[in-house]
Amino acid sequence: MTGVGITSWATAIPMWRLDRGLMGSAWDTPALPGERAVAGGDQDSLTLAVEAALAAAPDPSAIDAVFFATTTPPYAEKHGAATIAAVLDRHSVRTADFTGTIRAGTQATLAGMDAVRSGSARAALVVAADLRPAEPSSVTEQLFGDGAGAIVIGPDAPVEVVSQSSFAEESPGPWRRTGDPFVRSFDAKSETEYGYARAIEEAVTTALGSAGVAAADVAAFAAFAPDPRTYAVTAKRLGMSPMKDPLFASVGNLGAAHALVSLAHALDGAAPGDAIVFASAGEGADAIVLRAREGVTDARPARTTDEAIADKRALPSYERYLRFRELLPWEDPVVPGSPIRAWRDREQAFPLYGVRCTACGVVQFPANRACIACSVADKMERVRLQKRGTVFTFTLDHLVGGRYLETPVPRLVVELDGGGRIFLEGTDCDPGEVAVGMLVELTFRLMHEGANIRNYYWKARPARPGGAA
């Protein structure tokens, strides 16, 4: 089972962190140690997936398949993978959403491997992202976290697929019915022992046997588990060296994205020859044995998982988290929207295309027939804009949607690298830090839900090392 593997990888972790002590204090309950990652009010599983996808595939020209895995899709009926492909400016591609199970990420990976092996895709992009809803005051509220991971699967890769195994079994939970606001659970012990441990041990043992790899020789166990204790106990029962999950204490349990983000973390530090087990469970389990090869060090992303975790800001209160999750009473302003306008602008707005005047060379956005600099008409060529730049000018708006906000919203005119100016809303920053000349990068975000659709567009945030290109 050689010839296919992982060529690149990346993660997307929201900037915000919530100390679990604040959650415990809010409900007068014991608090787990550490903190959890919290998606902002303008983020969802799709925006996190786009961020991870752009980082994993800065040049998507060879990608022929885009697979999106999540248990929390933005729509019950609308294709998320197609939006990711649109942002990547890839249209002649196969797209699919994998959902309904925590192991959606490994199932999407197996599908991507099959597509590349069969020759139907030169390379396949697999992205997993989740924002699992947890009931306030519950243990799962403290355990869960938000994040995304992405890998590109291709031939002759620095990380080779050695073997794989899948195991399906009906299990008691956890679950979330259509219309349920939160993840439900029957009995944690039963779910762990019969719904998780048996399945994951079956799949991993079979995959290791097929690969001819001893459990004691596994360098990293990149796996989903419901909690850190179960992860450590499962690794021990499989015969692996003592291992600690790298994500629980700092960002939480990332649901369908957890195994993929754990894999990215393992690959960030992998050396040639290392054996890595990539596994997830949910109504059964999938396990994939990987082997790092020469070139794995050179394939590391510009921004590692540890760097993404370390780049954070603390939420000031538990109430802010509830606001992000729309769990507090709050009447959103009515924002006009138009599905037709969104469709009309999709090829310009999602991949972010402007035009360059062939007479004077000025880049401009949005596209115009007449040049804003030299006034020559119909002398434009289409050009894809860069997603980094500097603040040309800005304002801070306290009045938003007819409501006065104590914390203003930054509105920025950004001078993009390579040319072009664009007017954007600022995000992930303290408004008091915004300044002319500040380096920023563009990030794909949820703007509003006017016309009963989720309207996505770009915002600007302070630039980070290895950020958007």
Q: List, edge to edge, every strand of the sheet that includes 353-357.
A: 363-364, 353-357, 380-384
pLDDT of residue 456: 96
Residues 272-305 pLDDT 10s? 999 999 999 999 999 999 999 999 999 999 999 9
pLDDT at residue 1, rounded to an integer: 40
Q: Can you tell me the distance from the alpha carbon of 434 to that of 437, in angstroms, rounded to the nearest whole number?
A: 9
The dihedral built from the CA positions of residue 350, 356, 357 and 358, taken in this order, carries a sign that is negative
pLDDT tens column, 222-235: 999 999 999 999 99
CA distance 85 to 141: 32
Token couple for 431: 């408004």
Q: What is the pLDDT of residue 271?
A: 98
Instruction: Provide the greatest CA pair distance for the chain.
Output: 72
Cα(62)–Cα(362) distance, rounded to whole angstroms?
A: 30
What is the structure's pLDDT at 469? 53
Which residues in the chain show pLDDT less than 70?
1-2, 330-333, 466-469
pLDDT at 290: 98
Closest CA to 384 of 427, 343, 350: 350
Tell me the chain's radius of gyration from C-alpha atoms.
Answer: 23
pLDDT of residue 266: 98
What 3 state SS string does 388-431 have? EEEEEEEEEEEEECCEEEEEEEEEEEEEECCCCEEEEEECCCCH
Cα 4 from chain centre: 23
Residue 434 phi, psi dihedral angles, 5° rounding: -70, 135
Cα gap 216→236, rounded to integer Å: 10
Residue type, 304: T
Is residue 10 within 8 Å of residue 467, measured between CB atoms? no
366: preceding bond cis by omega (within 30 degrees): yes
